[in-house]
């Protein structure tokens, strides 16, 4: 069970001319006991099909099929030229999460309202502090230890709920444009690995002849609470494995390069495991299966990780990342957002930005900036 921490106090925030405020990202400031984090429980799910269309069902859920050989020799290069690529130029914002919210109004109603027979009445609010994607929370949690990727998050308060939406940074766009053929091929390998170890039915046969299409996805939507912040967020799930004990039978699949030198092993623990841990922990996923590949994209071994045990694997590295720091930082960022963004207006955006070596900054963009992300069909929902 989670540990109830003393009421965390907010580190000093500085008011800047121009209305922007900052929050420190220094690890030392967040090295306090783990804050209360309620075990995430699944409240819903949805699928995205081969054309990225939303479906309020499990049609894209995959089932884990354990390989029979200890060296499976999966060739992740297979099928690269016939892959079907998700169009990354189409911005998805929070749209599929909002679609899910609209189809699950009753999950946001107070018990007292549900008891009333006139549940046809609109709801005033979602009775939830934050709605976002899991990936955004992963990114926030890992920030105290991040030294490469900057980020940019738009915040809008609407009907009492803070909606958070990540935008691509200039640096990320440049990196994407400069991506070599080799790098692009390697970013396909993770998807191909998923195909080798999953099927569309339990005990089915993986079909590795079909082109890989990364439009397809299955998302789990969870409810949780971090200290005083209630959260509803969705995240992609790679598959289900009925042999996993407990009520969450989802698993996360990963690939990584086979490690030889001690240095590689340390970098893996310092920079990769933190992300694997944060991503899975947030959805309550207890098991991660990693395929270790060589430079030619051949997977030679599989390794299972218990999400819960990952933090202990950093013991032998100098100055390791700490899960309590990640969660205290996330808790403080959410509190900082609540303090800074007070105007309830769907056309108003505050931009939260961070880049390596800097403090986190929150700037008010006012109304009708290019970052407005809540669509009119959500604002004018008949459920309100
Ligand atoms: P790996 O996980 O093996 O790296 P996820 O692991 O989150 O389920 O994502 C599945 C795959 O999508 C990844 O496989 C990787 O190939 C690709 N992918 C995910 N995030 C990416 C990113 N930021 N840039 C490039 N590729 C990414
Ligand atoms: Mg995935
Ligand atoms: Mg994965």
Q: What is the pLDDT of residues 161-184, one digit of tens each?
A: 999 999 999 999 999 999 999 999
Which ligand has the minimum distance to the alpha carbon of residue 252? 3
Contact 244, 287 (CB under 8 A): yes
Express each pLDDT in 360-373 by its tens digit.
Answer: 999 999 999 999 99
Which ligand has the minimum distance to the alpha carbon of residue 62? 2
Q: Which atom of ligand 1 is nearest to the CA of 255?
A: 3
Q: Is the pLDDT of residue 12 over 90?
A: no
> Distance, CA 250 to ligand 2 centroid (Å)?
11
- 239: β partners: 251
Q: Give the Å distances, CA to CA, from 75 to 64, 198, 293, 318.
A: 18, 15, 9, 35
Contact 231, 225 (CB under 8 A): yes
Q: Which of 190, 234, 236, 288 to mutate to test the pocket of ligand 1 (most atoms within 8 A of CB)?
A: 190
Sign of the CA dihedral running 37, 38, 39, 43: negative
For residue 39, give both structure tokens: 């075990």
Burial class of residue 48 in the structure, from the number of CB atoms within 10 Å of its CB (0-12 exposed, 13-18 middle, 19+ buried): buried
pTM for the model = 0.94
Q: How many residues are recorded in the chain? A: 384
* Mean of pLDDT over the chain: 95
Confidence class of residue 94 from pLDDT cuts 50, 70 and 90?
very high
Specify the residue with its C-alpha closest to ligand 1, atom 26.
187
Can you tell me whether residue 221 is helix, strand or coil?
strand
- Mean pLDDT across 60-75: 98
What's the order of all strands across the beta sheet hosting 239-240? 74-75, 298-306, 287-293, 250-257, 239-240, 63-64, 198-199
Q: Which atom of ligand 1 is nearest to the CA of 291?
A: 3
Which ligand has the minimum distance to the alpha carbon of residue 60? 2
Helix, strand, coil share (%) of the chain residues, nearest 5: 30, 25, 45
Confidence class of residue 198 from pLDDT cuts 50, 70 and 90?
very high
- Helical ranges in the chain per DSSP H: 95-102, 111-115, 134-142, 170-177, 181-196, 262-267, 273-283, 323-340, 376-379
> Distance, CA 193 to ligand 3 centroid (Å)?
9
- 256: β partners: 292
Q: Kindly list the protein residues whose Cβ atom lies closer than 6 A to any atom of ligand 1.
A: 187, 189-191, 193, 238, 254-255
Intra-chain end-to-end CA distance of the chain, in Å: 36
What percentage of the chain carries pLDDT values higher than 90?
A: 92
Can you tell me whether residue 178 is helix, strand or coil?
coil
Specify the residue with its C-alpha closest to ligand 1, atom 16.
190
Q: Which atom of ligand 1 is nearest to the CA of 187?
A: 16
Q: Is the pLDDT of residue 37 over 80?
A: yes
The pLDDT of residue 111 = 83
Specify the residue with its C-alpha closest to ligand 1, atom 23.
187
Place of tokens 């003393």: 6
Q: Is the pLDDT of residue 79 over 80?
A: yes
Q: Give the Å distances, CA to CA, from 256 to 112, 189, 264, 268, 337.
A: 50, 10, 11, 9, 35
> Distance, CA 280 to ligand 3 centroid (Å)?
9
Contact 143, 332 (CB under 8 A): no
Q: Is the pLDDT of residue 257 over 70?
A: yes
The CA angle 272-277-282, to the nearest 5 degrees, is 135
Confidence class of residue 14 from pLDDT cuts 50, 70 and 90?
very low
Q: Give the Å distances, CA to CA, from 217 to 39, 196, 248, 301, 374.
A: 24, 16, 18, 25, 22
């Amino acid at each position: 069970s989670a540990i109830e921490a003393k009421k965390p106090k907010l580190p000093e925030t500085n008011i800047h001319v121009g209305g922007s405020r900052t929050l420190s990202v220094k690890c030392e400031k967040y090295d306090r006991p783990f804050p209360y984090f309620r075990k995430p429980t699944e409240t819903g799910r949805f699928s995205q099909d081969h054309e990225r269309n939303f479906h309020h069902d499990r049609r894209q859920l995959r089932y884990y099929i354990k390989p029979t050989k200890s060296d499976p020799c999966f060739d992740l290069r297979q099928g690269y030229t016939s892959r079907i690529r998700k169009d990354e130029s189409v911005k998805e914002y929070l749209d599929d999460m909002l679609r899910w919210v609209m189809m699950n109004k009753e999950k946001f109603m107070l018990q007292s309202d549900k008891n009333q027979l006139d549940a046809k009445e609109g709801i005033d609010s979602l009775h939830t502090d934050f709605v976002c994607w899991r990936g955004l929370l992963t990114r926030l949690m890992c920030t105290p230890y991040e030294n490469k990727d900057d980020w940019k998050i738009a915040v809008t308060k609407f009907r009492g709920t803070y909606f958070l939406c990540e935008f691509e940074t200039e640096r990320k766009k440049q990196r994407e444009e400069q991506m070599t053929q080799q790098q692009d091929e390697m970013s396909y390998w993770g998807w191909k690995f998923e195909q080798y170890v999953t099927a569309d039915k339990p005990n089915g046969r993986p079909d590795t002849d079909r082109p890989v299409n990364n439009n397809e996805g299955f998302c789990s939507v969870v409810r949780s609470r971090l200290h005083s912040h209630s959260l509803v967020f969705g995240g992609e799930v790679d598959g289900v494995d009925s042999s996993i004990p407990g009520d969450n039978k989802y698993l996360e699949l990963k690939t990584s390069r086979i490690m030889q030198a001690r240095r590689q092993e340390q970098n893996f623990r310092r920079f990769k495991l933190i992300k694997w841990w944060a991503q899975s922990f947030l959805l309550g996923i207890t098991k991660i299966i990693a395929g270790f590949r060589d430079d030619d994209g051949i997977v030679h071994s599989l390794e299972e990780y218990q999400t819960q045990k990952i933090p202990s694997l950093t013991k032998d590295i100098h100055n390791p990342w700490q899960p309590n720091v990640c969660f205290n930082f996330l808790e403080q960022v959410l509190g900082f957002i609540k303090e800074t963004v007070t105007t309830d207006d769907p056309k108003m955006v505050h931009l939260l930005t961070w880049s390596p070596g800097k403090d986190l900054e929150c700037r008010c963009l006012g109304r009708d900036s290019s970052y407005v992300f809540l669509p009119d069909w959500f604002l004018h929902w008949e459920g309100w």
